[in-house]
Amino acid sequence: MSTEIKLSGGLHAEIMHDLTRTHPFAAERVGFVFGRMGSHGRLILLNRFHSIPDDQYVDDPAVGARIGEEALTWAMQAVYQCRPTREGIFHIHLHGHKGEPQMSRVDSHEIPRLLPGFQSMDRDAAHGIIILSLDHGSGWVWLPGDKGPCQVDSINIIGVPIGVFEQEEKR
């Protein structure tokens, strides 16, 4: 059974607009996007985006962007407050190239460390990581009860034009 993420064209445009803005000192931006699992559990429907305020970034030239304690606390609280509706949280950022994005060395070292915290706030929701590129996207999902991630088979943008971003080895 494949794992898929869907979001509307409007939400995708909102995310891209936010992540492509320049930051006073960080080289890139990150954000959080929320979503719910469809009834069969491997379809995740994203429904809203949270832009991280400029002052919640930490100035760290060693990485493209680092967010501080305030942003992470906000995210943990948001996951906790979403428990009744079983909305999960996805860390999202943009790689400024075309084609299928992959986690960089820094991404794979740093971002997955956030996930156990999100899972501890709500074990019944799916949480994860999404990396967009200029014309593609990749995702990793920690499904309820799973200790590790599964790679998303496709991210579908329901806009105009429709985007079906498939993991290359699945094509």
Can you give the binding site for another protein, defined by CB under 8 A?
A: 4, 6-11, 35-40, 43, 45-48, 84-86, 156, 158-162, 164, 166, 171
Amino acid at 89: I
SS3 44: strand
Tell the smallest beta-carbon distance from residue 164 to another protein (Å): 4
Q: Are 34 and 81 in contact (CB under 8 A)?
A: no
Which residue number, 107 or 153, has a Cβ lying nearer to another protein?
153
> Pick from 106, 88, 101, 94: which is nearest to 142 by CA?
88
> Pick from 169, 9, 166, 11: which is nearest to 90 by CA?
11
Tell the smallest beta-carbon distance from residue 27 to another protein (Å): 30
Which residue number, 54 or 168, has a Cβ lying nearer to another protein?
168
Which residue number, 32 or 57, has a Cβ lying nearer to another protein?
32
All residues at 6 or more sequence positions from 103 whose CB lies less than 8 Å from its CB, including other chains: 111, 129, 131, 138, 140
Which residue number, 7 or 30, has a Cβ lying nearer to another protein?
7
Tell the smallest beta-carbon distance from residue 84 to another protein (Å): 4
